[in-house]
Amino acid sequence: MIDRRRSLINFHARDGFLIHSLLITDRFENEEDLYETPMVIQVHGVLGNFLARGTPRLLPPALLERGYSSFVINTRMAFLGQIMGEGIFDDAIYDIEASIDYLTKEGYRNIFILGYSLGANLVAYFASERLDPNVKGLILEGCAYSLPDSQKKRLKKWNSIPSYEEVYKRAKKILKPDPYHANNDQIFVIYRAWAPSFNPLDAELFTYRTWWFMRGPEASHAKTCDLIKTIKVPVLFIQGSNDDIVEEWESKELAREVYESGNKNVTLRYISNAKHDCMENPEEAIETIVEWIARLENEPLSASKVKR
Amino acid sequence: MKFMEQELISIPYNGSKIDALIYRSIVEKEESEREPIVIHVHGFLGNFLDGSQRFLPPILARAGFSSIAINTRMANFGLFFGYGLLDDTIPQIDRVVIFLKELGYSKIILSGYSLGTSIVLRYASIRNDPSIYPSLKGVVSLATPYSMPDSIRRRWDRLGSKPSYEQVYEEAKEILKPDPYHSTEDRTILIYRARGDSYRPEHTEIYTYKTWWFLAGPEAETAKAYKKMERIKIPILLIQGWYDDIVNPQECYDLARVALNAGNEDVSALYVNAGHTFEGKEEELGDIIIRWLNRRFRNI
């Protein structure tokens, strides 16, 4: 008999970054059942972590009730990563890679990856770069069509201070000639980034480098629309029907692009009565995820249609 | 050999939760010797996955002491989203103490690191009546500023911060008037060259005017450790790194003097050859605390 586990686990990415994670598994009769049961790696959103409210906090126990395991990771984008400079979007896929390596070495072979919000864009980038045979599918929750375009539009809407163009100009000046290796990075604040007020909760904080690779016009890996076509594993897009951060068309358009690229195993679901966080309607969100995984397990090669 | 069990927990608090990591020592001891338990409080922008909150509990557990490392409202983003006010952490610590008592612990030690020392010293100074708070048995204070506002002001002046301490004070007064605590006008501020002589992120501090006012401003009475020391009646252990570039080693000595002069007969101040984070001296730090705990609570 294998006991139920809720363990804090640490391991390193290939570049040495220390990843904190939470492993949650049910009680099993034997090891074979443990390793065959779907394991869902979960990647947080902006400034998130494995205890952040909403999906990161609520989904693992809900999946556990349905017998599914979770591995919730804090990537380098977690907590203060984007603010203190180590949260470089492009490098964060090393953290997903290391999570899969860790689970694979443990013996898990039925792995799914769920990304929430920023995490969805990160997972999409990862999957466009790596084809891991142990990864059976992706769940992209509240996935923006393009992180740079999304912020540009939002900052314009709220008349941010500084504007998107001003940030870009400063970033170019500070980070030239090589943004990735620039060693004179700085933190900056964007006021009126989420609403027309100077309230701290409506501000955004980055360093010029973290902004450059996540939100800047040249952040090519954060433009999910440009790389989603290369994803070959099954994809489930979920989005709250009342999402106030990502527009309704964004998931639909991404799903369409996956389908038209030849990957017919793509599903799109809107979760009713939920905003950006689908776990605002936990029953429907869980049912959608669990049904999709179950269907893949039973019919791994079946082609589903893009549907709402 | 397995010497502890670690569990991630959430303590219900005021419609929300206090996240914590509890480390239960399973080193064989007499039932009467499973106490005390140590509450660890993080530093500036910290949380229970970082620094001494992370490395001390396993070291203490090997010696038979259990710990709980908590995230207060000043953890992570508290200081720069505006809700990380020092005084508001007191009811959170109260809740953790009650939680531990419900688990059967009756001897509790508070341990704070850097900014966390302001929290634990403030707590111990206002919960200082043993007839009302008998479970609070001692305070461990690591890298303790004599006065957080004075310490920050000195450091910013020395490094030529941008903006200066005086500029921030003037702006804060203007924005938060007439009542800083209840002011709804707040905003995020960056202080460059606050922790080193560059504009790099690691040398930058982030606050809102409000969180700065109550932690670093000249009127932040609750963050002045020397004023708290005078009121603490339980044993105090101060530990300071000789090479700390954030807190001057002299501040530790001065704080110990204040406590002794106020009549506290059990005050210890010890130094290690380390910087502000005690990096490289984790075991030595742990050993000092273990010896201090053993002498007072285990008759060893």
Q: Where in chain B is the domain with CATH 3.40.50.1820?
A: 4-147+224-297
Lowest mean pLDDT across A17-26, A227-236, A296-305, B34-43: A296-305
Q: Among A169-173, A283-287, A301-305, B132-136, where is mean pLDDT lowest?
A: A301-305
pLDDT category of residue B30 using cuts at 50, 70 and 90? low
User: Per the CB < 8 Å rule, is B208 touching A191?
Assistant: no
Q: Mean pLDDT across the stretch A80-92?
A: 97
Q: Which residue of B has its CA nearest to A209?
A: B201
Q: Which residues of A touch B190 (CB under 8 A)?
A: 187-189
Q: CB-CB: which of B7, B8, B208 is closest to A200?
A: B208
Across the interface, whether the CB atoms of B82 and A199 are under 8 A apart is answered yes
pLDDT band at B31 (very low <50, low <70, confident <90, very high): low
What does the pLDDT read at residue B32?
A: 59
Whether residues B187 and A207 touch (CB distance < 8 A) is answered with no
A78: closest chain B residue by CA: B76
pLDDT tens readout for residues A115-151: 999 999 999 999 999 888 999 999 999 999 999 999 9
pLDDT in tens, B52-99: 999 999 999 999 999 999 999 999 989 988 889 998 999 999 999 999
- Whole-structure pTM value: 0.92
Mean pLDDT of B226-234: 96
- Residue span(s) of chain A under CATH 3.40.50.1820 come to 5-145+223-298
How is residue A189 written in tokens?
Answer: 């604040």
B188 to A80: CB separation less than 8 angstroms, yes or no: no
Of B2-6, B17-21, B95-99, B167-171, the range with the lowest mean pLDDT is B2-6
Name chain B contacts of A49, Cβ cutoff 8 Å: 76
CA–CA distance from B46 to each of B42, B191, B200 (Å)?
5, 18, 19
DSSP state of A230: G
- Whether A80 and B76 lie within 8 Å, measured CB to CB: yes
Cβ B199–A186 below 8 Å, yes or no?
yes
pLDDT of residue A307: 37
CATH code at A5-145+223-298: 3.40.50.1820
Nearest by CB to residue A205, choosing from B185, B188, B198, is B188
pLDDT of amino acid B33: 67
Q: What is the predicted pLDDT for the residue at B3?
A: 85
Q: How far is A86 from chain B (nearest CA, A)?
A: 10
Q: Collect all residues with Cβ–Cβ distance below 8 Å to B276 and sequence separation of at least 6.
A: B114, B143, B241, B244, B245, B246, B247
Considering only CB atoms, which chain A residues are within 8 Å of B47?
79
Asked whether the beta carbons of A215 and A206 are under 8 A apart, the reply is yes
pLDDT of residue A54: 86
- Give yes or no for a contact between B133 and B127, defined as CB atoms under 8 angstroms apart: yes
Q: Determine, for residues A203 and B204 on separate chains, whether the beta-carbon distance falls below 8 Å.
A: no
Q: Are strands B16-25 and B108-113 parallel, antiparallel or unpaired?
A: unpaired
* Percent above pLDDT 70 for chain A: 97
Instruction: Provide the CATH topology of domain B4-147+224-297.
Output: Rossmann fold (3.40.50)
- Reported as type and span, the H/E element at residue B249 is helix B249-261
Averaged pLDDT for residues B188-204: 96
Among candidate residues B18, B36, B40, the one with its CA nearest the CA of residue B105: B36
